[in-house]
Amino acid sequence: MSNRNFEVYFDFGASKIRATAINVNEPTKKFCYESNDFSDYLKSEKEIEKIISNIEKDTNEYLDSINLMVDNSKMLSINLSLSKNFDGSKLKKEDIQFLVQDAKQQVLRNYLNQNIIHVIIKNYRINNTNYTFLPSNIICNTLSVDIIFICLPKTIIEDLNFFFYKFDISINQIFCSSYVKSLSYKDNFTSIENLSFIDIGFNKTSIICYKNNEVCFFEVIPIGSNNITKDLSKVLNIDLTEAENIKLCLSKNENIVIKKKLSLELIQKIVISRVEEILELCMKSINLEQFVELKIILIGGGSRIIDNQFKKKISFLDKVDLLEETTEDICGAALKLSQGLNKQEVIMVAKRQIKEGFFEKLFHFFR
């Protein structure tokens, strides 16, 4: 692996796959790939095969390992706070490592069916003062650490490993797609301290909030753009494939509705009703009282149906921005995180890095 020129990142969505191969020596040299939309497991395999073939052809390297970005309605966010007295001693990095390791073991003991894929330190409270980063050379009497764990069921990870094993590919590291994308995209809003990214996917919607430019909230709700498709199919009495096509074309080409002699007004009501429900559920999840002002950004494939013209018809969407995403943007977000650009992240080391000490095998503290 050390002799390889390209690092490969896959974003494995529920209806689309994206991938980017990035030259480790020349980061500007990269190849991006995007699958056709698919609706079932077998089609996803065919799309993966095409992308793998193109990657190997363009990079002139055999692809045997990848970094994987996924989102899933069963992702779980666990918040945990741990405290410890230090009686006036100087606080060391190792003290935090022990505390985080203790928290990690508590999560794993109480959530036996979960694997931790992200560990985020939300806040350090040292001597009753809050810090978003660990200060150096500080004398500590009391320490409290607030941590967010983002978890994925072990069965899903096993399924993903088995899926790529069929292509003789191993997974180095798994990222939560919506979380790492939000970390990257918030750099586009440097003048805004309080942000909420709502990532509408196929079968889920993720909410990631930043207060004072630091992660403070993550949650996934099991409803997405596929629910709009199902609504259209049921109300209009058409099959799911046709309903999906109408949904995707609605904001771009209304002629498809006219040709099929369907009611444009009815279709818009169905879509607007479901989108408003999704956004209302997101707003209920967020504790809005902690924010003086909150900027909301819509991302994800499910938000493609809401263009700037269509969103005017949806209540309170006039205050929401839509962010266009490219394959390079999406996969590049995971690369940025793996390079250590987020000081809150405590990330498990990729499995190929084996010649390190005890703590280094468990964590890297990104500064």
- Which pair of tokens denotes residue 185? 């995209």
Report pLDDT for 252: 60
Report pLDDT for 257: 67
What backbone torsions phi and psi does residue 28 show, to the nearest 5 degrees?
-75, -15
Q: Which long-range contacts (CB under 8 A, 24 or more apart) does 321-325 make?
A: 321/295, 321/296, 321/297, 322/297, 322/298, 323/185, 323/188, 323/297, 323/298, 323/299, 325/181, 325/299, 325/300
Report pLDDT for 259: 66
Q: Which of 41, 339, 365 is nearest to 173 (CA)?
A: 339
Strand segments (E) across the chain: 6-12, 17-23, 30-34, 65-70, 76-90, 114-126, 129-131, 139-153, 170-176, 195-200, 205-211, 214-221, 295-299, 320-322, 345-347, 364-365
Report pLDDT for 263: 81
* Range 6-71+156-176 has CATH code 3.30.420.40: yes
**Placement of tokens 């959530």 in the chain:** 111
Q: What's the predicted TM-score (pTM) here?
A: 0.87
CA 290 to CA 268: how far, in whole Å?
34
- Which pair of tokens denotes residue 143? 């320490």
Under 8 Å between Cβ of 51 and 31: no
| Domain pair 76-153+343-348 / 191-325, same fold | no
CA 63 to CA 4: how far, in whole Å?
10
Residues in Cβ contact with 56 at an 8 Å cutoff, skipping those fewer than 6 apart? 62, 63
Written as tens digits, the pLDDT of the chain (367 aa) is 457 899 999 999 988 999 999 998 898 899 999 999 887 778 889 999 999 999 999 999 999 999 999 999 999 999 999 999 998 999 888 888 889 999 999 999 999 999 999 999 999 999 999 988 888 889 999 999 999 999 999 999 999 999 999 999 999 999 999 999 999 999 889 888 899 999 999 999 999 999 888 898 999 999 999 999 999 999 988 888 888 888 877 656 566 666 667 787 888 889 888 888 998 899 888 877 777 788 899 999 888 777 655 666 666 666 678 888 999 999 999 998 888 767 778 855 444 444 444 444 444 444 3
Domain extent listing, the chain:
6-71+156-176, 76-153+343-348, 191-325
Sign, Cα dihedral of 334, 16, 161, 113:
positive
- CATH fold for the domain made of 76-153+343-348: Dna Ligase; domain 1 (3.30.1490)
- CATH fold for the domain made of 191-325: Nucleotidyltransferase; domain 5 (3.30.420)
Residues in Cβ contact with 85 at an 8 Å cutoff, skipping those fewer than 6 apart? 141, 142, 143
CA 234 to CA 68: how far, in whole Å?
35
Pairing mode of beta strands 320-322, 76-90? unpaired
Q: Which of 72, 323, 10 is nearest to 197 (CA)?
A: 323
